[in-house]
Amino acid sequence: MRFNFIKIAFALAVLISGTACERQEKFDTEKWLVKVDMDYPHRDLMIEDLINNRQIKGLKYPELVKLLGEPERNWQADSNKYYYQIVEDYGMDIDPVYTKNLMIEMQDSVVTDFEVQEWKK
Quick: pLDDT tens for 30-89: 999 999 998 999 999 999 999 999 999 999 999 999 999 999 876 566 678 999 999 999
Question: In terms of pTM, does the model score above 0.85?
Answer: no
Residue 10 resides in a domain:
no
User: CATH number for the domain including 73?
Assistant: 3.30.1450
Residue 4 resides in a domain:
no
Number of domains in the chain: 1
Residue 14 resides in a domain:
no
Residue 77 resides in a domain:
yes
Residue 115 resides in a domain:
yes
Residue 81 resides in a domain:
yes
Residue 60 resides in a domain:
yes
Is residue 78 classed as helix, strand or coil in its secondary structure?
coil
